Amino acid sequence: MKISNELKIGVLTAVAILLFIIGYNFLKGTDVFSSTDTYYARYDEVDGLGLSNFIKIKGLNVGRVTNLVLEKGKQGGIIVEFTVDEDFKLPKGTVARIVSSDLLGTKAINLELSDTTIFYQNGDTLASAMQESLTKSVTAELLPVKQKAENLLSSIDSVLTIIRTIFNEQTTNDIKKSVTSITSTLNHINKSAANVEDLLVQNTSRIDRIFGNIESITLMLKNNENNISAVLSNLNNITDTLAKSNLKQVISNAQLALENVAVILEKINKGEGSLGLLINDEKLYMNLEKTSLDLDLLMKDMKLNPDNYVHFSIFGRHNKNRESDSTASKK
């Protein structure tokens, strides 16, 4: 049987159309040779999700994105249509989350299944969610660091401004002078340290003797610890005795006595009383001196002529006197 050219052309055209449809559906993510269920999810943004991107359940590819429709209006979202093999039933509460499927940033929808036993039907709309992108995560992490860096740079700029203001030419010269002075001081200190070191070297033996004497003194104090304790105990007893004695009363009495002596001396200076008259009356002093001189002459005369003052006779006292008188008259 001979096939006509028209039939061949028709068959080839049909095959081509069939392949075109199959290829078109494949590119759209529709598997022509398997049964699928269609679901929808609404997103504010799809973050790079495109047609034919995979639908995954725990990493397993179970379907593809078949269509993306932008809602009308400024506040409108994006309706994503995707198919899932009918063998996979989605329980109520399943979340369709847009995630990154590889390091290159290829997007996919990961279905997070719930534990309910009630399932979505073909054509239902699932709850949607977005996985935070790596860029957003890094941006969120780096934003505080960026703010701190900006604050730090602002602070550094302020510090530099202050430093420029403070460290002007005059201040720089003063700092140079201060550094020079410090250097000179350090040199003097080094010289002093060298002199001290020489002094210590020269007087090492003397220092050793001094420390030896100190050690001897400390050893002596240690050996006489009991005696020192006894002395301190005696001092404590003495101080206790003085504390217990009526020292205040004694001092008061002494002060009163001194005040009385002062009063007496004042009276003597004023010539009051016998002692005051004796000291201050010059006439009385002259009379006493004259009387003392007369008494001294009398005593001398009594020693030289005792008979003129003492007449002692047992017999013939009166006759003798008479004879003396007559003899005196004859003469």
Q: What is the pLDDT of residues 10-62, one digit of tens each?
A: 878 888 887 877 776 666 555 555 678 899 999 988 878 888 889 999 889 89
CB atoms within 10 A of CB 280: 14
CA distances from 280 to 268, 273, 283 (A): 8, 10, 9
pLDDT at 315 over 60: no
* Kind of pairing between the strands at 125-130 and 107-112: unpaired
Q: Which residue has the tokens 């701190």?
A: 148
CB 108 within 8 A of CB 56: yes
Residue 328 has pLDDT above 50, yes or no: no
68: helix, coil or strand?
Answer: strand
pLDDT for the residue numbered 281: 64
Cα–Cα–Cα angle for 202, 206, 211, rounded to 5 degrees: 130
Percent of the chain exceeding pLDDT 70 equals 79
Residue 311 has pLDDT above 50, yes or no: yes
Q: Are 79 and 69 in contact (CB under 8 A)?
A: yes
110 confidence band (pLDDT: 50, 70, 90): very high
pLDDT score of 187: 87
Region label for 49, one of left (φ > 0), alpha (ψ between -120 and 50) or beta (otherwise): beta
Determine the average pLDDT of the residues in 246-259. 77
Mean pLDDT of the chain: 78
Distance between CA 82 and CA 49 in Å, rounded? 12
Q: How far is CA 219 from CA 223, 224, 231, in A?
A: 6, 8, 18
Between these two residues, 111 and 216, which has the higher pLDDT value? 111
**Would the pLDDT of 75 be above 90?**
no
What pLDDT, on the 0 to 100 scale, is given for residue 177?
Answer: 83
pLDDT for residue 323 is more than 60: no
DSSP 65: E
